[in-house]
A and B are shown apart, each in its own frame.
Chain A
Amino acid sequence: MSSREQVLPYGRILRYQFHERLTHWISAFAYIYCMLTGLAFWSPWLFWLAILMGGGQVSRMLHPWFGVIFAGAVLYLYLMWAAQMHTTETDKAWWRSLRYYVRNEDEKMPPAGRYNGGQKLLFWGFVIFALLLLLSGAVMWFPEWIPLSLRFLLKLAILVHVSSALLTIGLFMIHIYMSVFAERGAFGSVIRGDVSREFAERYHPAWYEEVVGARATRRK
């Protein structure tokens, strides 16, 4: 897609194409299902979540299938976005200026591209933990197939699964907070696909330059 097509009427800029948005939401719903049922298995105080999701047995049966859907969606996200997620010098500078970002002093931040350093961390975090969750989950799916001599694998898989899941919950909470509460307009971008020029200019100046700047040059 050329940057020309990304500039929409009414000062809007296309940020996520349809297939990006769809994949994002497939992974999101699968993740949320797995998180809620997983939390039910994690703590007796949250077991009511499993009751809410159709009962303990149903949750146990569907959790791995939704896990496979999640892993598949993350794989597709990886294929779409991995090339844009390499760490650059700007990202390193972004992390060094994190305190300004936390205090909402975005004008003091180095000019981020389509993704800032934090978003790249989120992406790689989810890719790596999805892989770990898939591998450990595969071992836990069919405990009756694990012979006694390989029982330690099952024990380790549970630890890996639990730890990875907890770390993704940390990433997930920050992701929801940033996209729904902190950066107004970000949530709409993954629903309708576009953001305002101001949004792009404020949070992703280098990307804005890439999209709008190129068009300006071509018009001359």
Chain B
Amino acid sequence: MSQATLRVQKISAHAGSVPGQDTQRESTVCKLIDTTTCIGCKACEVACMEWNDLPFGETVFDNTYQTMPDTRWNYWNLIRFNEHETDNGLMWLMRKDQCMHCAEPGCLAACPSDGAIVQYTNGIVDFQQDKCIGCGYCITGCPFNIPKFNPETKRVFKCTLCSDRVSEGLEPACIKSCPTGCLHFGTKEDMKDLAEQRAKQLRDHSNFPKAGVYDPAGVGGTGVIYVLHDASQPEIYGGLPSNPRVPWTVKLWKGPLKWLGNAAMIGGLIGLFVHYLRFGPKTREEEFEIKHEGKQP
């Protein structure tokens, strides 16, 4: 939420170019989550609340180890606990769920408020709550169901990838707190290398032939990537979409519909103006007035 030392590369609902775009090269940052070494300790959940100073909310018990069913406006980081049946018995899949920081963010595309959502050149997608108008359009744009609405302040919140820490050269709070080393933070390139190495290790040495890296191309890749035991079915990790995309409704509305609508409105105004120039008013009321001046019916 601090942009003091961060350079912006994309701005929601912004007319015109992005100031300072491409003036400096910055490496894209990335969080790597190795689900195969997560032990579900929830240290990252606590660290997230602590660092971001989020108010305490009641947890919800629904017969799992999961803190609550879903992330909240004041709970940005949630480990999803999934019991998955396989031929060799039960697997306990734990996935840290938070904003994925898409390269092509659907939330930013859908947002109508100038500058309420920005993407920094380091890839972090950040909400600027002072400019948020609370319309909830970002909620429809996100394929991961991440932006959450605070009904009291009428603003939307989500994980910032600790942009305030990252801008000062620190890793996000969740990374710092992880005791098993399942969380890594660095440049996108390095994290992808590391993830691929780990996936290869899992395939070659740990009997997970389908192990792989989750970095979905449908949203241009993400700033948070996963190593999964079974990359062929990400859905088993608490509903991770196998091919996330910006919804077609948002693409239609912000694409062809927008151009069609703008062309029709401008064309209509020009058409009416030209019609008036060509044909003018049907009659002049003054003509009627003169005839009846002072005449009683």
Which A residues contact B (CB, under 8 angstroms)? 7, 9-11, 40-45, 47, 50, 56-57, 59-61, 102-104, 106, 140, 143-144, 148, 151, 154-156, 158-159, 162-163, 166, 169-170, 173-174, 177, 181-185, 188, 196-199, 202-203
- Chain A min CB distance to B182 (Å): 27
- CB within 8 A of B276: which of A106, A170, A182? A182
One of B15, B133, B264 near A57 (C-beta < 8 A): B133
Interface residues in B252-297 by Cβ distance below 8 A to A read 252-253, 257-258, 261-262, 264-265, 268-269, 272, 275-276, 279-289, 291-292, 295-297
Pair A10/B295 contact, Cβ less than 8 Å: yes
Q: Does B167 contact A (CB under 8 A)?
A: no
A174 contacts across to B, CB distance below 8 A: 268, 272
Cα distance, A59 to B132, chains bound together (Å): 12
Nearest-neighbour CB distance to chain A for B259, whole angstroms, equals: 11
Are B291 and A44 in contact, CB atoms less than 8 angstroms apart? no
- Our pick among A7, A162, A182 for the contact of B253 (Cβ within 8 Å) is A162
How many angstroms from the CA of A99 to the CA of B292 in the assembled complex?
31
Contacting residues of chain B (119-155) with chain A, CB-CB under 8 angstroms: 131, 133-137, 139-140, 145, 148-149, 151, 154
Of A61, A144, A203, the contact of B151 (CB 8 Å cutoff):
A144
Interface size on B, residues (CB 8 A): 52
Cβ-based interface call for B200 (8 A): no
Is the pair B279, A103 in contact by a Cβ cutoff of 8 Å? yes
CB-based contact A47/B15 at 8 Å: yes
Residues of A contacting B210 with CB < 8 Å? Answer: none
Q: How far is the CB of B228 from chain A (nearest CB, A)?
A: 22
Residue from A148, A159, A183 within 8 A of B252 (CB atoms): A159
A42 near B135: Cβ-Cβ < 8 Å: no
Instruction: Judge whether B64 is part of the interface by a CB distance below 8 angstroms.
Output: no
CB atoms of A60 and B272 under 8 A apart = no
Chain A minimum-CB-distance residue to B142: A151
Pairwise interchain contact B291-A181, C-beta atoms closer than 8 A: no
Which residue from B15, B134, B250 sits with its C-beta under 8 Å from A155?
A: B250
B140 A60 Cβ-Cβ under 8 A: no
Q: Is the CB of A143 within 8 A of B136?
A: yes
A57-B133, A156-B249, A182-B282 known; A166-B264 Cβ under 8 A:
yes
A158, B137: Cβ atoms closer than 8 Å:
yes
Q: How far is the CA of A104 from the CA of B149 in the complex (A)?
A: 54
Check A106 against B295 for contact (C-beta < 8 Å): no
Question: B288 touching A56 by the CB < 8 A rule?
Answer: no
Residue B203 at the A interface, CB < 8 A? no
Minimum CB distance partner of A169 in chain B: B265
B14 within 8 A of A: yes
The 4 closest A-B pairs by CB, nearest first: A143-B136, A184-B285, A144-B149, A56-B133
Which residues from chain A contact B113 at a C-beta distance below 8 Å?
A: 47, 56
Contact A60 B134 (CB under 8 A): yes
Check A155/B272 contact, CB under 8 A, given A56-B133, A144-B151, A163-B257: no
A-B contacts, 28 of them at CB < 8 A, read A11-B292, A41-B135, A42-B261, A44-B14, A44-B15, A44-B112, A56-B113, A56-B131, A57-B133, A104-B279, A143-B136, A144-B151, A151-B139, A154-B139, A154-B140, A155-B140, A156-B249, A163-B257, A169-B268, A173-B268, A177-B276, A182-B276, A184-B283, A184-B286, A188-B285, A196-B285, A196-B289, A199-B283
Alpha-carbon gap, A44 to B110, bound state (A): 11
Nearest chain-A residue to B265 (Cβ)?
A169
- Contact (Cβ within 8 A) A173 B282: no
Inter-chain contact B136/A140, CB cutoff 8 Å: yes
